[in-house]
Amino acid sequence: MTDRAELVHYEVADAIATITLDSPHNRNALSAQLIGELFERLERAENDDAVRVVVLAATGTVFCSGADLSEASGGADFADGPRTIARLQRTIVAHSKPVVCRLQGAVRAGGIGLVAACDIAIAADVASFALTEVKLGLAPAAISLTVLPRMTSRAAAYTCLTGERFTAAQAVEMGLVTTTVPAGELDAEITRVAAELATGAPQGLRETKRLINAALLANIDAHAEEVAALSARLFGSDAAREAMLAFLSK
């Protein structure tokens, strides 16, 4: 056991499990600890017969800032990192219960893979997005497993190659986000959608989700090792390490 502060919280009410990222020191980055706890919470919801819907949320003004660059640039072996990100996306896609993403703020790079893996993504109008990997000598390799199937090809080319920030409304147009609402209405909309989903029978939800996500899951299984290897190679390159260290020193 560890005495480290919990980074991912779990709460169940009215058949809805809310899993909340709470790692303010690194803007909810995908650190090893956060990912490990997120896997555990997703498994808990999977095995809880009282849960019919999962809401993935976050505290603060940033939903997820992507990979924890302090870990990725610290000299540790990052070979397993991209495979873990691929497996995390697969876990969400293959989860037997609908997963709703509550996007209250900024989401960057690897965090967008979480958004794309969810079944429904509802964003506050103040949320912003950016696939910034290109700026660091990287590519959105591991998260391409879910991001590219969600977005139009033109949108993917523009956002991935420029690394430019885009809005919640633009994310809806691109196919990445389901809908956007005023920030003050986000919780009400999440509650409404989750409650509506919870009226579904467990078997109906499970089998319908399996049907809808069959192609996405097949894409993950077919290409996960290939893109994880690419991502690991890029993260381990001198060019990327130099860029990450420069970014962290700002």
Q: Up-side HSE of residue 16: CA atoms within 13 Å toward CB? A: 20
Within-domain flag for 210 = no
**Given this model, what pLDDT does residue 79 score?**
65
**Given this model, what pLDDT does residue 77 score?**
55
Domain extent at residue 14? 8-186
Low-confidence residues in the chain, pLDDT < 70: 1-3, 72-79
Within-domain flag for 127 = yes
State pTM to two decimals.
0.95
Q: Which residues pair with 128 in a beta bridge?
A: 167
Within-domain flag for 89 = yes
Q: Give the CATH number, domain containing residue 148.
A: 3.90.226.10
Within-domain flag for 105 = yes
Query: What is the enclosing helix (H) or strand (E) of 175?
Result: none
Which token pair is 240? 């990327």
DSSP characters for 99-149?
Answer: EEEEE-SEEETHHHHHHHHSSEEEEETT-EEE--GGGGT---TTTHHHHHH
Within-domain flag for 75 = yes
**Given this model, what pLDDT does residue 1 score?**
43
Residue indicated by tokens 């103040």: 126
Within-domain flag for 195 = no
* Count of domains observed in the chain: 1
Neighbours of 40 (CB within 10 A): 13
Within-domain flag for 177 = yes
> Identity (one letter) of the amino acid at 190?
I
**Given this model, what pLDDT does residue 250 score?**
74
Within-domain flag for 237 = no
